[in-house]
Amino acid sequence: MIVRDALKEEYPFVRELRLNAYQEYASKIPERHWEVLQQSILSDEDLDGGIERIVVEIEGEIVGSVTLFPPKIEAYKGLLEDELEYPELRMLAVSPNARGKGAAIALVTECLRRSKKKGFNALGLHTADFMENAVKLYEHLHFERLPDNDFQPLDDGIIVKAFVKRFNERLR
């Protein structure tokens, strides 16, 4: 397994991989919410300066990706009251046929490593309950809930929940 920065020519493939990985949620959430999520997945907002695009390869094939946003960037377009003082991982995606092989853990661990190396004291993320496996993963990796940074992007009852991993403990 190789974790590395995505090459610019791989960006279109990474967007399609994300869409494929998130497709399972289309039937779990209201149609309008899926449309907004899909738009975010396919957007080029992760091309802004300072945002790191990371992929994981297994046997020469890209099977997963994540973006690492720097602190103080407006990643959620006005949905959070305060700017985050730490990096945030977003759009973690693993191809359905590669799940269970450690790709997601490798990507999150790389985001943790990079954030800690840059001197930050935490790494944050947002997810929702309909992403059951993601929530389980973050809890397994000892991310803690940060309800003060939750938000509701649409008036459909779906709360996007904030999590944080502080670095005063050993990375696991």
What residues have CB less than 8 Å from 61, skipping those under 6 apart?
none
pLDDT score for 149: 85
Query: What is the pLDDT averaged over residues 118-140?
Result: 93
Architecture of domain 2-122: 3-Layer(aba) Sandwich (3.40)
Q: Is the pLDDT of residue 159 over 80?
A: yes
Q: Is the pLDDT of residue 59 over 50?
A: yes
Nearest to 172 by CA among 131, 124, 137: 137
Please state the domain extents for the chain.
Answer: 2-122
Per-residue pLDDT band at 83 (split at 50, 70, 90): low
Q: Is the pLDDT of residue 72 over 90?
A: no
Nearest to 21 by CA among 62, 76, 60: 62
Residue 63's identity, in one-letter code, is V
